[in-house]
Copies of this chain bind each other. A is one copy, B any other.
Amino acid sequence: MGNTFGTLFRLTSFGESHGAGIGAVVDGCPAGLELSEADIQPQLARRRPGQSALTTARSEADAVRILSGVDSGRTLGSPIALLVENADARPSEYMDMQSAPRPSHADYTYKVKYGVVASSGGGRASARETVARVAGGAVAEKLLRVRYGVDITAWVSAVEDVQAPDLTEAGVTRRMVDETPVRCPHADSAERMIQAIERARVEGDSVGGVITCVCRNVPAGWGEPVFDKLTALLAHGMMSLPAARGVDFGSGFAAAKMRGSAHNDLFVSKAGRLGTATNRSGGIQGGISNGEPIVFRVAFKPVATIRKAQKSADYDGQTVVIERSVGRHDPCVVPRAVPVVEAMAALVLADAALMAEAYGSGG
């Protein structure tokens, strides 16, 4: 269960990492939106492994095929099914893992929950499942851009101990983000991040990092006030990502150290609307967008799969040493998670947009 996300704009995800393919069904996209594979493929390409020396060598083409819901280049209002076939499945590589659960992986919890050990690569726990999110998110993003002019841009703001300066008000674009393979638009930080990742790779280790996301031009009035605050829905989406360990909004965890007089965003008149002089609220007040950019960060742990030997226990509780000499391995997934964060943000906002239409707001 739990493979559907959203209320009015809904994504259902399916597919195992080493089965026939990964798919998504988008239900609730309004009719008449121009849509083709070309709207989806670029974000899939950004998520794909093997883009640079920084990432795993698994070389999937990840070509998406629209199976339904689009006719003559426009959405029909019916479910949009998207399929990305798995081209490069090598389940045998993973076979040796089955007697012992991989540390900090989902092997053990899946075994308890389902009574089966996935035959390969983590099944649904694999990062490959995010293909469905990126594909569905691209549809959401198209809707948001065409209808409301919403722009969603994420980037890597920290890797291991390298922290980029705050760029949330710097007008970062995806082109700027993609200028380095580590997807940090601050050149000096990017350089040091790349070095940190390279060091980890050489040592058979992995590193974590942080992604910052900014959503611009979201109209004031989106989001619901109690359980379905925009902060809550975005947090739900982000914390459903593999390896995500934390999320915060606007001033975030730093807000806990502040005084109210320093934290409050004072209102000022902006062109044609009421705005705020600062944006410590991260564009969301009382769970509802206020017209300022929505800003949040997601922290990712270092990936659990490393080459270094680890002393752990097998399913019978016997001590074993786990050491991987084969198989693909990505020392830092954070750069590839950038389009995934953007996709989940788009899914949440498209849902909130339709919800606002239902109740006649979004002013």
Residues facing B in A269-311 (CB within 8 A) are: 269, 274, 276, 280-282, 285-291, 299-306, 308, 310-311
Residues facing B in A219-264 (CB within 8 A) are: 220-221, 223-229, 231-240, 242, 244-253, 255-261, 263-264
Q: 1/0 contact trace for A346-362 toward B, CB 8 Å? A: 00000000111111110
The yes or no answer to A57 lying at the interface (CB within 8 A) is no
Residues from chain B with Cβ under 8 Å of A313 in the complex: 266-269, 274
Query: Across the interface, do B207 and A259 meet the contact criterion of CB distance under 8 Å?
Result: yes
In the bound complex, how far is the Cα of B356 from the Cα of A297, in angstroms?
31
Q: Known contacts A112-B221, A227-B2, A240-B232; is A255 also within 8 Å of B299 by CB?
A: yes
Q: Which of B74, B116, B250, B310 contacts A76 (CB 8 A)?
A: B116
Q: Known contacts A233-B236, A253-B210, A256-B209; is A290 also within 8 Å of B67 by CB?
A: no
Closest to A272 in B: B317
Of A40-48, A122-130, A184-192, the one touching chain B: A122-130
Query: Across the interface, do A116 and B206 meet the contact criterion of CB distance under 8 Å?
Result: no
Residues from chain B with Cβ under 8 Å of A269 in the complex: 313, 317-318
Query: Across the interface, do A225 and B106 meet the contact criterion of CB distance under 8 Å?
Result: yes
Query: Across the interface, do B3 and A317 meet the contact criterion of CB distance under 8 Å?
Result: no
Residues from chain B with Cβ under 8 Å of A27 in the complex: 1-4, 12, 14
| Least CB distance, A300 to chain B, in whole angstroms | 6
The yes or no answer to A149 lying at the interface (CB within 8 A) is no
The yes or no answer to A28 lying at the interface (CB within 8 A) is yes
Query: Across the interface, do B200 and A14 meet the contact criterion of CB distance under 8 Å?
Result: no
Query: Across the interface, do A240 and B227 meet the contact criterion of CB distance under 8 Å?
Result: yes
Query: Across the interface, do A23 and B68 meet the contact criterion of CB distance under 8 Å?
Result: yes
The yes or no answer to A50 lying at the interface (CB within 8 A) is no
Query: Across the interface, do A118 and B264 meet the contact criterion of CB distance under 8 Å?
Result: no
Query: Across the interface, do A281 and B246 meet the contact criterion of CB distance under 8 Å?
Result: no
Query: Across the interface, do B256 and A244 meet the contact criterion of CB distance under 8 Å?
Result: no
Query: Across the interface, do A302 and B240 meet the contact criterion of CB distance under 8 Å?
Result: no
In the bound complex, how far is the Cα of B109 from the Cα of A276, in angstroms?
12
| Least CB distance, A219 to chain B, in whole angstroms | 8
In the bound complex, how far is the Cα of B319 from the Cα of A269, in angstroms?
8
Q: Known contacts A232-B237, A240-B229, A267-B313; is A285 also within 8 Å of B16 by CB?
A: no
- Closest 10 pairs between A and B when the two form their complex, measured CB to CB: A106-B286, A246-B248, A2-B228, A2-B224, A269-B317, A206-B260, A109-B288, A358-B358, A236-B236, A260-B302
Q: 20 more A-B contacts (CB under 8 A) besides A14-B67, A246-B256?
A: A1-B10, A1-B28, A31-B115, A74-B116, A104-B280, A104-B281, A106-B285, A109-B221, A109-B290, A112-B221, A205-B261, A208-B263, A227-B240, A236-B236, A245-B252, A251-B301, A266-B313, A268-B313, A269-B317, A274-B313
Q: List 11 A-B contacts (CB under 8 A).
A: A3-B78, A20-B65, A78-B124, A125-B287, A210-B253, A235-B247, A248-B248, A248-B299, A251-B301, A256-B299, A280-B301
